[in-house]
Amino acid sequence: MRSHVAAVLAAVALLASACTGTGANAGSGIGTGGGEVGSGRSSLGWEECGDGFECAKLSVPLDHAKPDGEKIELSVIRLPASGDRIGSILLNPGGPGASGVKYARGARTAVSEAVRDRFDVVGFDPRGVGESAPVRCLSTSELDTYVGLDSSPDSPGEVTMLEEGSRRFASGCQARSGRLLPHVGTADAARDMDLLRAAVGDSRLTYLGKSYGTQLGAAYADLFPGHVRALVLDGAVDPSLDPLELNTAQARGFEVALDAFLGDCLTATDCPFRGSVGSARAEIAALLRRADTTPLTNGTGDGRTVTEAWTTLGLITPLYDRQAWPVLRQALGRALKGDGTVLLRLADLLIDREANGEYTNQTESNLAVNCVDAPYPRDSAAYAAAARESAKDAPLFGAYVMWSSLPCAYWPARGGPRAKIDAPGAPPIMVVGTERDPATPYQWSEALASQLSSGVLVGFDGDGHTAYLTGSTCVDRLVDDYLIDLTVPKDGTHCPKIS
């Protein structure tokens, strides 16, 4: 399961170039009251690192069961509060595997001006991610090959290739990062976050987590309910589901989002489809089948083959943000004529493949965290059966999403059973869900809010992944009032569709 917001911001940045035709051809010391100013002091050695930000390293135990044993360093960044400071707000953009340092670098769009005025905005790369003892598994060319594997195999030979590729991925992680793999789970990251809370001088945690960041925030609340000040969990993951159930639900979410996109597309003059949503879906299904046998052309000049897998990734990426839908209209128009260049560029955004061809470690850390967070089946037959079942409700994305977890079948560090998360004794925790969220279905937000003993649900009649600062002034006001003044919204509050 891959779900994060950082790549979506980049997808929107691509909008202008792609739609003008260049994209395809361009080679707490926190008080108990809402407004009380914190008095705690940071123990981190902050240094200026550009554009008003300060950076530091936090030393944490590799194994929290051995606090005096081997240490690793986490990369941390902050933008100091511009006004009457309450304390710090920690951010996590999701993934797992997305860089919190990069996300915080965009603090001026990640949180509102009102929040930036009252809080130091603090981002960090969780263990195994980015600049924090990163997990590494494959070379760039090996990652290109892995991502391009047929993840909706329809023959025994294709299944064998996918199995072999997944084994190579897992063995590569063991060879390059074996000592880290047992210690990169969400519970470990939550314990790190409590050390970071103390290190920035806050007696209680203020936190904004999006997508997978909601799972991290919920785990923190369950481990440290007495250390919670205010948690906003936006675009929630349901921690009660087993991993293949999560895959199935996420695949359905992408289908719902695609239908919403297509309904909107059919009203646009540059939509490459005519007729109904059903007929447009049929054209997309035919496009994916063609890409499976005859890859689309690649105008980037980087030598990659635009297979069905790359095409599917490119189709999924703009579904994360309604503002990127014009890019998807153009990308599909070109793809229907055989040109997969824009879809390939969009796929690169989701997997953090940079313009120079190098990858961040997002893909590797995503699997590393997921595979130890839950007990995945160890037999590929289980994935095949789950893929067939998922395809009944999610014919375009079900098999792809399900097979994408296959490396976990061969993972050297085993995941344990999912623990119940209810965070008894924590103050009110705000859970925000978007009705047509492609990556974290609304039902997951409902489920997490009900599982948390103090969960408060806010719904948003919207499209795209997560709700805060995506256009709803209703959501933004509720989140800001909660973070700053600890004003808790009524459980079940629903924000209307943006007109």
Q: Which residues are catalytic?
A: 211, 437, 465
φ, ψ (nearest 5 deg) of residue 111? -135, 160
The Cα–Cα gap between 269 and 181 comes to 50
Q: CB 158: neighbour CB atoms within 10 A?
A: 16
Q: Which of 320, 347, 328, 338 is nearest to 404 (CA)?
A: 347
The Cα–Cα gap between 380 and 457 comes to 37
Q: Which of 410, 401, 398 is nearest to 371 (CA)?
A: 410
Q: What tokens were used for 382?
A: 């289980």
Beta-strand relationship, 87-92 and 94-95: unpaired
Helix (H) or strand (E) holding 207: strand 205-210
The Cα–Cα gap between 384 and 154 comes to 10
The Cα–Cα gap between 49 and 341 comes to 35
The C-alpha torsion from 331 through 332 and 334 to 339, rounded to 10°, is 90
- CA 150-154-155 angle, to 5 degrees, is 100
Helix (H) or strand (E) holding 144: helix 140-147
Does residue 91 contact residue 123 with C-beta atoms inside 8 Å?
A: yes
Cis check for the bond before 96: say yes or no (omega within 30 of 0): yes
Q: What tokens were used for 194?
A: 């409590």
Residue 58 pairs with which residues in a beta bridge? Answer: 74
The SS3 of residue 188 is: helix
Does residue 300 contact residue 442 with C-beta atoms inside 8 Å?
A: no
The Cα–Cα gap between 44 and 377 comes to 41
Half-sphere exposure of 489 (CA within 13 A, CB side): 27
| Locus of tokens 């309904």 | 263
Crossing angle for the helix pair 186-199 and 212-223, nearest 10 degrees? 70
The residue type found at 31 is G
The Cα–Cα gap between 331 and 15 comes to 11
